[in-house]
Structure 1
C-alpha cells in the first residue's frame, strides 16, 4: 500500500558539536504532550497540591504541574524529592527566576547538581556577576554536559571581566575531548571579531566549517557577516552561494543577500557577554536536538532565551523541540514572536501554519498560507505547504490547485522536486485524474529512480488497474528490497501477488506486513482475504474481525461486515478499494 511521505522543513545542525553532548547530558524527566489549558488553581493542603501536581504531570500539563508542586513545596520546603521535581519543572517551563531560587536551595541538599550550578551561573552572567559565574563554572564536572558548557561559558565570563587574552587562551587550548573543539573555535572566532582581530576570527570560523559535514547555517551567517563588515563582499557571496547550493530553496539567507545588493553592512551579531553566552547555549542545544536529547535541550534553550529574549534562531530551535514533544501552543507563541525582519521569520510563519492545522484550526492555517503566498508571489513554499495540508484532509481538488500554482512558480524542475511531483500525484490519483497522476509519478521516478515510496505507489496503482503488471510487481519488489521493514510496502507486495492469483506468496508477505503493522485495519483485512483464498477460512474470519476492531473507515467497515456475513466474493475484495497510503 502506498506510503504517504511527510514533507517538512529541513532541520540542520547550526553547529556540529558532537553526539557526545547528548551522551553526556543530564537527562531530565521525559517531556509529555501539552494538555488543555483549563485547570484548577492550587489549593491549601500539601497532599492536595502534591496529588494535583502529579495528576497534572500524568495529564501532560507541565505548567499546571509546576504551579501545584510549587504550592506543595511551600507547605513542605525541606522535602528533597519535591524540591528537585519542582526545580526541574520550573527550568523546563522557562521560569528561570523561580528555578534560580530553587537551585540555591537544592544545592544545599545536593551540592553536585550540574543543572542547578548551570542555572545559577547563567543568572550570574545575566546580572553581570562575571567573576562569580566563572568560579561556579570552573567547579562544574569535566565530563558530561559540564565539559561543553563549562569552558565556553567561562570564556564569556572572562570577557565580562575584561580578561580577553585569558578567555582566548582557554578557548584555543587543546581540550581533553576533541568533540568540544568546534564549539570552542566558534566562540574564539566571535571574541576575536569583537576585538577587531578579523584575520583570527576568520581562521577560527573556517576551522569550525572544516570540522562539519557540510556548511552549517550559523557559520554561513556569522562568517558571511564578518566578510560583509570587512568589505570582502565576494567572499561573502561565495559563502552564501555555497550554502544555497547545499540547501537549495532555502530563504534563510534572503536578508544577507538583500544586504549585498544594497551594500548595507550588518551589525555585529554578538555584542555582549549575555549574547555570547546565549550563542554558546544555542550551539550546544542544536547538537542536543539532533541527538534527540529533548529534555536537556529544552532547559538550555530556555536559558539561552533568558539571556537573550530576542534570538530568532533559538526561538526556531526551541519551538521545534516543543513541537516534537507535542506542546503546540507554546511553540506557536515562540514562532509568532519572531521579528518579521528576521531571516527566520519566513520558516517560522510556515511552522505557524503547520501548528494551526495540528490544533484543528485548519481554516486559519489555509488563510495564513494564502497570505504568505500573496506576500511572496515568486515563492512556491507556502503553496506547497497549503497543498500538503489540504491533501491531509482529503481536500484533493483544492490541494491540486495549490500544487499547480506552486509548479508555476518553479522555473526549472530539479531532482529535489521529486517529492512535490509525488505529492501532487497522490492528490490527482485520489481525485481520479489518473493520467495526470501517472505522469507525475513517472516524472518523480525520472528524478529519483530508486525512490521506494514512489515505486510502491505507482506499482500498486498499476496492479490495482490491471496494467503493466510485470513492471508493477518488479517496482514493488524493488521498493520492498529498499524498505524491507516497511509494513505498508510489504503489504503492497503481498497484495500484488494476491491480485495476480499467487495466493501462497500473498499470504507469506501479508503475514510479514501484519507483523510490521499490526494495528492497520487494511493490512489485516488483506491478510484475511488471502487466508480465505488458500482455504484457511477460520483464520480469515479472525483477521476480518481483527480489522473491524481497529476502527477502519466507513467504507472498509461495511465491506468487513459483509464478508463476515456472506464470506468472500469478488465484489467484497478490498483490492477494489482506493490504495491506502498508510
Structure 2
C-alpha cells in the first residue's frame, strides 16, 4: 500500500470546483490490491426499500442539477441508513465537492469505520481532521498509515509537513510530528520532518539540532545540507558559509548545495567567489541541462546577463525539458538588455503551461510600448482565460496598457466592466480605486478600498491607498494616520508606505515627524514622488536649497513625473530648477 500524502493534501483543499467522479467512475477507482477490495460478504444485507431508493434518486438528481446541499444531506442520510462503505465514500466525495468539511468528516468517519483496512478512507479522514485543526483526532489515523508504509515510511515523513502546513497552530503541528516520529528515530527523514516543523514553530535551535541529526544519519543528503545551511544563515552568514564550504570539500559533486552556497555568496556581496562557483557548476556539468539552467539563473541574480543568455541557450541545446520556462526567462533577459523585438519573438515561443499567459501579456505590453496600442489590446482580448484569476489578469494587463496613455476614463470603464463579472476580485477593486482617484470619483475610491480591506484585511496597500487619498485631499486626517499606521504594521519595510506616513504627518502640521519618515523613505528608495514630498516639506521648513537639490536630482531621472512637476509649479511657479 502506498502512502499517498500528496493525494490527501489535494483532497483536503475542499474545493467545490473539484471534478466529482460519477457513480460508475467511483466504482472503478481505488486500489486494485486484494486488501482494498470490498468483499461482497462484508457488505451489509440491506434491502432496497422505497425510502432508500427515493433518497438515492433525490441525491443524484440534486447533484446533477447543482443543488449540492440537498445532495450532501441525502447521501449522508443514505450512508447512515445503509451502513454501506460505498455509499459512505460517495457521501464523502460529494461533501468535499460541495465544500462542506463537516459533512465530509461525518461521512468519512463512517467510511473508515465500515472499511477500516481502506487506505483511501483513512487518508481522507486524516486529511479532513488536519484541515479542521483536529490534530489529536488525526493522529491515530496517521499512525496507522505510517505503520502500513514499512520501507516507504521515510518518504511519507518527507511529505507529512506538506499535509500539516495548512494548520495554523505550528506548535501543535510540531508536537504531532514528534509524536508520530517516536517509532522511527533511526530514519534521517524523520529528523528532517521534525526540523522543518520546528522551524515553522519558531523553535530554531531545535530545527538546527534535528537537521544535524538527519545529516549524521545520512551525511551525503544534499537537501538536508541545503536546509542546514539556511538554518545556520539565520544566526550567522559566516557560519553558513563555513558549513557549505566544508560540505563541498567532502562532497564536491553536490550541485544543489553549491547552488545554495552561490546564492548565499551573491546575497553577501561576494561577487568574485560567486562567479567562481557558477563557473565551477558549468565546467563540471557541461552536459547537464538542469545545472546549466541553474547557473544561468544564478548569473541573472548578479546581473551577468551575457552568462545568463549563453547558459539558457545551451540548456535548450542540451534538451532541457521545460522549454517554455527557458524561453520565458530568456525573453526577460532580452527585455532587461533593451532588445524588445527579440523579447517579443521569444515570448511568442512560450506555447503552453503556467508561463504561457504571462508571456502573452508581456508580448502585448511590449507591442503597446512600440505604439501598437489597439493591436496589443486585441491580442489580450483573444487570449483564453481558464479561470477567474486569468480573466482578471488579462483585464489588469489591458488596464496597465491604457494607463500609460493616460486614458483614465477608459481604464475606469474597463475595470468597471470587469468587476461586474468578478465583483470581489481584490486586484480589480484596487485598480478601479486608483482609476477613480484619477477621475475625482472619490466615493468610488473609498467604497472599493473599504471593500478590499474587508475582503483582505492583511492587504497593506489597500490601507495605504485609502489613507494616502485622505491625506492628499486633507480630509479625515486622523483616520488617514490610523490607516497608514496599519499599513506600516503590515509592511514595515515598504518605502512607499513610509512616504505616506511622512506625508500624512506633514498634512497634519507635524513637520518634524513628517520629515523624519520622508527621509527614511527617500533613503530606502529615491523615487521622484517621494522626492516631491520630501522636497515640499523641506521647502516649507525653509530649507529651500536642500529641496531644490532633491528635486533637481529627481528631475534628471524622471523629467515628466506628474507629481514632481505639479509640486514644482505650485511651490516655485516653475517646472524647472534654477
Please, what TM-score do these two structures have when normalized by structure 1? 0.43
Which one has the bigger helix percentage? 2
Q: Which has the larger radius of gyration?
A: 2
Which structure is richer in relative contact order (CA contacts within 8 A, separation 6 or more)? 1
